[in-house]
Amino acid sequence: MAYKTYMRYHQNADVYSRSVTTNDAGQKIASWALSKSDVPCAFQPVSSERRVTPYVDNVEEYELIIPHPYASYFNYGYRVQDIKDRYNNVLTSGPFEVTDILRRSGFNGKLSHILVRLRQVIEVGS
């Protein structure tokens, strides 16, 4: 039993929060800072989407199952990078954006874990 649940969390992920700065020209620039490293999770692919405009891209969607004590580190607009297995081998590097956050209860009715849906970030022009 881990984190008061019957689930096992074999992977780890790094969570990045967004901050906005303004450059000398007055343009807003988003920068990403590490919010929490090595968050325990269970990582699984969910679906794939093929976009054809303006460029041909395959956009992967994943789901992370996170123990409830780490729920405060996830918010919409945050990013996840470097999903690693238990031996610190990087499974996928990302970056991924958080698109859905679903809270799930356990058998006792208390909040047990959260499901975080991620989508691969496709940077235009890179």
What is the Cβ-side half-sphere exposure of residue 98, based on CA atoms within 13 angstroms? 24
41-50, 67-76, 87-96: least confident range: 41-50
- pLDDT over 60 at 49, yes or no: yes
Q: Confidence band (pLDDT; 50, 70, 90) for 53?
A: low
What CA–CA distance (Å, rounded) separates 7 from 66?
Answer: 10
What CA–CA distance (Å, rounded) separates 36 from 65?
Answer: 16
- pLDDT over 80 at 42, yes or no: yes
Q: What is the pLDDT of residue 121?
A: 84
The average pLDDT across 13-27 equals: 89
Virtual torsion, Cα 96, 98, 102, 106, nearest 10 deg: 50
Name which residue leads in pLDDT, 52 or 38.
Answer: 38
Name which residue leads in pLDDT, 5 or 31.
Answer: 31
What sections of 28-122 are H helices per DSSP?
none
**68-83 pLDDT, tens digit each:** 888 888 888 889 999 9
The full set of domains in the chain, from first to last, is 11-120 (2.40.10)
Q: What is the pTM of this model?
A: 0.77
